[in-house]
Each structure stands twice: as C-alpha cells, then as structure tokens.
Structure 1
C-alpha cells in the first residue's frame, strides 16, 4: 500500500506540469463558449477584458501577498516597466485583438489559429537560445518534427474542411450567433487573430526572462492583472464612449467575467507561469492544440456545430506532433537533471577536497611544520 502511494506520488510529481497544462486547456475550452455567449448577448469585448482582470487581481492579491512575502523580490522601477510591457503584450494587445476577432469569426476557427503560437514560440526560443536544439541528437530531431507536424495539423484544420460529419442528435444547447459571415468581417477577424498569436508568442518568451528576475508567480499574476486591467480600461475609454457598455447585469455577462477572472486570468495564468519556469515557454504553448480538439468535440456533440473531416484529421496530426515534441522535451529534462546531479557531485567533491587541504594545513601549522 505504501509503495503504491509512493509510486502515485512520484507519478504526480513527475507529470505535474503536464497535468496542470491539460487542466488549463480544459479551462480555456469552456472560456470560448462562455465568452461567445456573452458577446452575442451584447457584452463589449474590451469592457469584458477590463472587468475580467480587475476580478483576477482582487482574487489573487491576498494569496500573492501572504504566500509570497518572503520570496517576492523588491519591485524596482526597471522591473515595473518590464511587468508593464509584459501586461501590455499579454492583456492590452493580445487579448483585445483576440476577443474582438471572435466576434467576426467563430470559436472553432480562433482556437485552431491559436495553435500557431507553439511553432512561433519554438522558433523565437531557439533564436534567443532559450531552447536547446541539437539536430544531431534524436531528441532535437523529435522537437523539430513535433513542431512541424503540429503546424501541419493546424494547417489541415484551418484550410481543409472535407465532408461534413453526420450529426448524431439535436444540439443540447443553442447559442444564438451574431458573427459576421461576409468576407470582409472574416478577413478582419483572421488578421486580428494572427496578430494576437504573434503578440502572445512574444509574451510567452518574455515571461521566461521576467521570471528569472521576479520568481514569484502569484505576485506576477496579480501585477499583470491590475496593470493589464488599467491598460485595457484606458484603451476601452478611447474607443467606447457609451456609458451603458460598462453596465452589466446578473446574467451571462456577469458569469463570464467571474469565470474569466478567477479561472483563466487568475488560476490558469499562475499554472502557465509555474510551468514556464519549470519547463520553458515552448512546453506551455505545445498544449494549445488540446483546447482546439476539445472545442471541436464540444461544439459538435453539445452545441450542434458542424464538424468536418478535416478537423478530425488535423486533430490526429496535432496529437502526433504534440507527442513527438513532449518526448523531446522529456529527454531534455532528463539530460538537464543528470547535468545538475553531476554538477552537485563535482561541487561536493571539490568542497570535500578543500576541507581536507585546509585541515592538513592547520595540522602542519599546529605541529610546527613549514
């Protein structure tokens, strides 16, 4: 019994980042449909982002303040500027473009395009030497192939539709859509989606640098929420002059803000920061395809949205690519652990040798030797 509990504990410890990222993608899956319902109800996306991050900051503040009092570094002006830029990338720019694009396209399309973030992040990480890439090693080849295969799967889901899969039953839930069907609206939404993906890739990379100088994930999440809310409020005030847009009732708008603030901008961002510090930004972004698959499944079985053969083929290809890259990253982790162990052993041996030399010298001095 004890050995079973120990093995389960070891499994959870080893795969904790994987479990957290799967939970994060499940959380993102529900976000797509809750926000779509809220926007179709009349909620302004920019107002939604502002309120959502206010809720996130208020909820995360007490946890950050009390749990990270001893490990939170001093906030300098330079560090605050860095957090300001980080918030601008991840909230002010990326999220505003992202949610506005959803009004012109669809949750399935947006969730598919988000998968390009992994490939973009991998390329930037390799250029900045945040990601080790050795194509002479099988693990290096696996990471490259995994990225390319995943990108091929995303491309398949985006460009190839194929025949429509037969609907098995009537949809359980119906969300009245108001997304633009004309070419101009779809093109506008596509451009905004691509722009948000590029911004998000830079945001993920910058997180890795900021966490080295500010290794307090709860506090960083709180700061990004408050600063991002302020940035979004300023932007919204310049484009939205109707006071009624800021008024919400106790309906889907309220619950979408609460869910987005507590679960997504609070809990999930904390998960991502922790996993970024442990595994790197590429590891975090490679789980995005799971959300696409879950969105397609939920849209088909629950909401009655059309499911095409291309989406199924693309999903299978994406899973294969994800497995290849995770295998390569797992090998990286094992090599890194071995290097740390070797460094620790070498340090202990050097320390022991130094102690022996000092002890020998002190013995000679006490005996009157030279």
Structure 2
C-alpha cells in the first residue's frame, strides 16, 4: 500500500497543479476587476505586474534551475518573444473584457480555450482526425457545442438570478458592475481565449526545444514587460494613470505578479511539458466554477440566467472533447501494449 502511494501522488501532480493554476487565475480576475473599478488602468496593471514578476522569477530561475541552464539560442528567444506577444494580447484582451463585463463572463468564455486548442492542434497535426472513430466525432461535436455555449453567454444576458443589481447601487455593486457592455466584453474575451489556445500550442513546442520551464517563464515575463511598457506609453499618456493610489490597485499588482504570473505560469509550463497543450486547456472550464463561487458569495457579483445556460452548454461540449481525448489515450495505450506483447502482429499494417 505504501509502495503504490508515491506513484499515485506523482501521477496526480499535473492534475493538482492545474487545479491550483485555474484557482489563481479565477481569483486574479475578480481582484483585477475590483482594482479597475476603482480607477486602475489595465495597461498599467499589466505593466507593473509583469515587471515585478520578472524581478521575482529571474533570480529563482538562475538559482533553482542551474542544472537545466541550457544555452539560450536566438532560435528559442524569438519564439519566446512571439509567445510573449500572444500572452500580452490575451492578457490585455482579458482585462478589457472583464472591465466591460464581469469575472463570471470572463471565466465562462475560458471554456472556449479547449475548443480552440483542439482546432489548432488539428491544423498543426498535433491531434489525429479519423472520422471512423467515436473519439474524433465526440471531440469535433464538443468543439462546436462549446462555441455555441460561448455565443449564448455572450449574446444572451437574461434576468439576474442572484445578487440582483440595485438601481441606486451599493458600493460593492458599483465596483463589480460599472461600465458593463456584455457583447463587447464577450468578443474581447473570445479573442483572448483564442490567443490563450495559441499560447498553449506555441509554449508546448518551445518546451520540446528548451525544457527549462522557469527560464522560459523568466524571459517571457521580461519580454511582456518590454511590450507592455511600449503599449502603455502610447495608451496612457496621462501621468496620473501611472500612479497607483487605490489600495486595491496595489493588491491586484502584487497578487497578479506573485500568484497569477510567477506561480501560475511556472505550474502551467511544468504541466505543459509533461502532459501536452490539450490537457492544460481542458482545465480552463473549472475556472468558471471557482470564480462564480468566489464572486457570488464573497463579492456579491450578479449571476445572470444567460451565464448559467451558456455555461451548461459549454461544459457539455468540454466533457465531450475530454471524453474523446480519454478514449484516444486508451486506444493508444492498447496499441502500444499489443505491439510489445504480440510480435506476430508487428508485420501487419497499423490501423489509422
């Protein structure tokens, strides 16, 4: 019993890591929404958070990954720079989408990431398509269902079910529901989801070339800081926007830098290296459950019928994709086992 415990713990580490990662992401969405509602610019929030994360991750990378300190070539660096562009645009799109809508909508739209990741994986031949298999049919239909669910969440708000917004408005309600534009927020968040899926695919390919997760995260944060500084100089010309005066702004910057960027990106990179992009993307729908619980119970966020209906459709699509992926994994294991234990079958052509 004791001997089988450690292999089980080792196998469960990617699962536990992704649960922690999506929890950090969901919490960051809510904290960022509150900071932006008190006047903090999302451009400045991104710049300061990534700059602080760079100062944290670089020393840690050189100290903890000395054995993995491979020579950093231009071939790897330009890919990390491109990864930073995808990540920064996804981050800004996510912040802007949250600013227009709510953390609940933002986490619901994250359910699109597995669908987009599957489409990109098929395009880049990282996923096999065989219409004669139920697994391929399930993944393809699940992708379409996920996109349909995201459309429901975006274009149908519906009546408020919990924490109905007040006409006069309490302080917390004003913090969480100001400047709402549901459709614009949904479009921005859908774009951020596509960029996140592209980010997962690209980072998985970089990790194959340069398997040092923390060093990749360190250079990634540095490049995002440079890019966000350039954009912020253009977008925020008012000097007052560069000053963080609200306490919630400082909380959002430190939480985003330490937990959402440094910790979450390292854990995500570690899981990407060991499991691949689709496994990581499949955990994004869990974010909506965590964010709804935190937002509705602790921050009095408004829960709308459209969010629930669309989220249910999204989750159905997500599990269809996940079921198809699991079935393919079982078939691949069976094929490997047959080839190892049945030498007489090796002369036969493999099934596609």
| Range with greater deviation from structure 2 (328-337 or 279-288) | 328-337
Q: Secondary structure at the match of 1:296?
A: helix
Q: Which residue of 1 aligns with 2:17?
A: 20
Q: Is the contact made by 1:157 and 1:310 (CA closer than 8 Å) also made in structure 2?
A: yes
Distance 1:319 1:190 in 2: 17
Shift of 1:51: 0.9
Q: Which residue of 2 aligns with 1:139?
A: 135
Residues 264-309 of structure 1 show CA distances to partners (whole Å, capped at 9, x for unaligned) of: 1111111222222222222222222221232233332333333234
Structure 1 or 2, whichever has the larger Rg, is 1
Distance 1:98 1:166 in 2: 24
Are 2:172 and 1:174 equivalent residues in the alignment? yes
Shift of 1:71: 2.2
TM-score of the two chains, using structure 1 as the length reference: 0.80
Distance 2:152 2:171 in 1: 28
Residues 114-157 of structure 1 show CA distances to partners (whole Å, capped at 9, x for unaligned) of: 32222122111101111233332333333234333433433343
Q: Is the contact made by 2:162 and 2:296 (CA closer than 8 Å) also made in structure 1?
A: no
Q: Is the contact made by 2:161 and 2:304 (CA closer than 8 Å) also made in structure 1?
A: yes
Shift of 1:260: 0.5
Q: Secondary structure at the match of 1:165?
A: strand
Distance 1:74 1:339 in 2: 38
Distance 1:65 1:210 in 2: 19
Distance 1:341 1:72 in 2: 36
2:211 to 184, 192, 215: 215
Are 2:69 and 1:72 equivalent residues in the alignment? yes
Q: Which residue of 2 aligns with 1:198?
A: 194
Q: Is the contact made by 2:94 and 2:189 (CA closer than 8 Å) also made in structure 1?
A: yes
Shift of 1:199: 2.4
Distance 1:243 1:341 in 2: 64
Distance 1:227 1:291 in 2: 27
Shift of 1:90: 0.6
TM-score of the two chains, using structure 2 as the length reference: 0.84
| Range with greater deviation from structure 2 (222-231 or 127-136) | 127-136
Q: Is the contact made by 1:112 and 1:158 (CA closer than 8 Å) also made in structure 2?
A: no
C-alpha change, 1:334 and 1:73, in structure 2 (3 Å) is farther
Shift of 1:229: 0.7
Distance 1:22 1:82 in 2: 27
Q: Is the contact made by 1:106 and 1:179 (CA closer than 8 Å) also made in structure 2?
A: no
1:150 to 146, 149, 155: 146
| Range with greater deviation from structure 2 (304-313 or 32-41) | 304-313
C-alpha change, 1:320 and 1:116, in structure 2 (3 Å) is closer
Aligned residue-pair number: 339
Shift of 1:232: 0.4
Q: Which residue of 1 aligns with 2:349?
A: none
Q: Which residue of 1 aligns with 2:350?
A: none
Gaps of 5+ in 1: 347-370
Shift of 1:68: 2.0
Question: How do 1:359-370 and structure 2 match up within 5 A?
Answer: none
- Aligned CA-pair RMSD: 3.1
Q: Which residue of 2 aligns with 1:290?
A: 286
Shift of 1:167: 5.3
Distance 2:185 2:304 in 1: 21
Q: Which residue of 1 aligns with 2:272?
A: 276
Q: Is the contact made by 2:114 and 2:318 (CA closer than 8 Å) also made in structure 1?
A: no
1:247 to 239, 243, 246: 243
